[in-house]
Amino acid sequence: MAAADGEPQAATKEAEKPKIEPLRLPTPEEIRGQDIWNNCAVRSVVSGIMGGGLGLAMGLFLGALDNPLMQEEMSTKQKVIYTAKDMGRRSLRSAKTFAVMGLIFSAAECVVEKARAKHDTTNTVVAGCVTGGAISAKGGPKAACAGCAGFAAFSVLIEKLFDRHD
């Protein structure tokens, strides 16, 4: 009876083992694609384009919400024309800002990551500081320092929210 009881336990243990699948090596096309994406220039340009698209969409949305100052004195046609022009101006301005922000942040993070040979939150802090400082530099040294600290803190907050790093 002991042998009969032992057999189902052995069969159960074997059934619990995960099935081992063969290792699949990447194809040459997959390797080339990964090499292209690991290039800091490519990654930065793509981030800049995506940032520009996001800025364009945000500018359109926020521009549509803005009301003209003298709306009581304007006809409906004038309001529509004013809103369309304002949306266009705001969209282009937002697209440019977000594109520059995405390009600088991605380039800085990629360069720091390659130099340190690590993928961690320190890269995000440095990239955020570089981006915030560069965007705020026109306001002088105090503005650049505040932009550095603010954007670095914001970048870490977003990083922790999405928890990209282990």
Q: What is the pLDDT of residue 73?
A: 82
pLDDT digits (tens, 9 = 90+) for 8-51: 555 556 567 778 888 889 899 998 888 888 899 999 999 999 99
In this structure, the dihedral spanned by the alpha carbons of residues 61, 66, 71 and 76, taken in order and rounded to 10 degrees, is 0
pTM equals 0.74
pLDDT digits (tens, 9 = 90+) for 117-135: 998 999 999 999 999 999 9
Q: What is the residue extent of each domain of the chain?
A: 41-104, 118-166
In whole angstroms, give the CA distance from residue 86 to residue 98: 18
User: Is residue 89 within 8 Å of residue 113, measured between CB atoms?
Assistant: no
pLDDT at residue 155 greater than cutoff 90: yes
